[in-house]
Amino acid sequence: MKIISILNNYSEYPGLRNCNISEHSGEEFYHVVLNKEFKDSFEKSETVQINLDGTGGYASSFLDEAFGNLVYDFSLENVKKYVEIISEEEPHWKEMIETQTFKEWERRRLEKESPKVTIKHAPWFRMIDKTIQEKVWELPAVV
């Protein structure tokens, strides 16, 4: 089992949803940490445990963006099979992710509503037709 602690592997002070409005955003956490760690665990058929405890707190948008992108790129079925979320301090975050975020982002995935990115990211992993591919899947919208 792989263990990711947001406190130890990312930031004590997670920010908001997107990179263009916040440092340490959910978008950044997903692209810098979670996408690759999940891909590696998936390939090894091992669970990745994500510990939410110990940080200065969360905005719901941080968690929605980070875990929602994971569902979008790998499907709800695979995320449920290989992700274990831990939160002893604030169990309502775990419940929100599992009962709201997962369902909403699976709907978006099935309806091909592309996730929003606010900066150009390095290539990341996504499952397409049961194979994992790596590329830049989305570009920031030009305003």
Q: When comparing pLDDT for 72 and 141, which is higher?
A: 72
Query: Does residue 32 register a pLDDT over 70?
Result: yes
Across all residues in the chain, what is the average pLDDT? Answer: 97
Query: Does residue 92 register a pLDDT over 60?
Result: yes
Which of 85, 67, 87 lies closest to 76 in space, CA to CA? 67
Which of 53, 88, 83 lies closest to 67 in space, CA to CA? 83
Identify the pLDDT of residue 108.
Answer: 98
pLDDT grade, residue 13 (50/70/90)? very high
Identify the pLDDT of residue 143.
Answer: 57
Percent of the chain with pLDDT over 70: 99
Over range 77-92, report the average pLDDT: 97
Tokens of 96: 């929100």
Identify the pLDDT of residue 141.
Answer: 80
pTM: 0.96
Over range 107-128, report the average pLDDT: 97
Tokens of 13: 């002070």
Query: Does residue 38 register a pLDDT over 90?
Result: yes
How far, in Å, CA of 13 to CA of 69, rounded?
20
pLDDT grade, residue 135 (50/70/90)? very high
